[in-house]
A = this chain, B = another copy of it.
Amino acid sequence: MAAPRTIDDVENKRKHNAAERRRQLCDAAISLLADEGPRGLSHLKVDRQAGVPDGTTSFYYRTRAALLQGIADQLVRYDAEVFTEVFKDAPNSSGRVIAGMLADQLLAVRSEPQLSRTRARLELTMSARRDPGVASGFRQISESYRALVERLVLALHHDNGLDVDHALCDEQTSVLMAYLSGQTFALSNDSPEVLTRQDIERQIHAVLVGVAVEHAARQTPSSDSSGVRAK
């Protein structure tokens, strides 16, 4: 690469390097969080994990709160990258395709780098309660997941040529979020249950169909009010 020639070039290079360094430190912090939990995280340990001189992390992140916020921001950026990648070939994907992508994302939690990122995210979510500085970054993550799931739900309605019923979509999104979050927690904690992509896709559809059936039953007061029709 040619040497920078103007003040602006120098300034841009400096900013680029700082961003790279922050990313490197946050990656090290994510590994630490995943392996040891929030209490295993210190500025010095991050320096050692990243293989940088002692004091580097303190230079970029003065306080523990700033470091945690930096990690949260980094996790949000990684999620955004994944979502962009997932949707790049499929700006108007069918619900079926999106369900398959969601299943792939869920299964990716079992291997690196998603495993550490997911575990770090869960650890930070649990500690956000006692650390309000982190909470806002995590509201962002949770909203970006919800937006993705909502997009799937709307796509499925569209596939079926249905008018969009917002109350129904909201509840489908909520129940599917709970299902995906439970599976994510299980997968990132080495659940022994064997789940294939096909299982997850089928279960995603099952959740959506079930909510629609219950919803339709409520719209028809004359129908079986127990809402339980196992077949």
Contacts and interface: CB of A to CB of B under 8 A. Distances in A.
Interface in A55-89: none
Contacts of A128: 189
Tell me if A's interface is mostly helix, strand, loop or mixed: helix
Given A38-B39, A126-B122, A128-B189, A209 B229 contact: yes
Contacts of A193: 174
Interface in A147-206: 156-157, 159-160, 162, 171, 174-175, 177-183, 185-186, 189-190, 193, 202-203, 205-206
Nearest to A139: B192
A210 B206 CA distance: 4
A208 to B, nearest CB: 7
A193 to B, nearest CB: 7
Nearest to A96: B226
Q: What bracket does the count of chain A residues touching chain B fall in? A: 35 or more
A183 B186 CA distance: 13
A129 interface: yes
Top 8 A-B pairs ranked by shortest CB distance? A39-B39, A210-B210, A182-B182, A181-B182, A178-B182, A206-B210, A206-B214, A209-B210
A125 interface: yes
A4 B181 CA distance: 54
A212 B190 contact: no
A230 B175 contact: no
A36 interface: yes
21 contacts: A35-B130, A37-B123, A39-B39, A39-B40, A126-B189, A157-B230, A182-B182, A202-B218, A202-B227, A206-B207, A206-B210, A206-B214, A206-B227, A208-B210, A208-B228, A209-B209, A209-B210, A209-B214, A209-B230, A210-B213, A212-B229
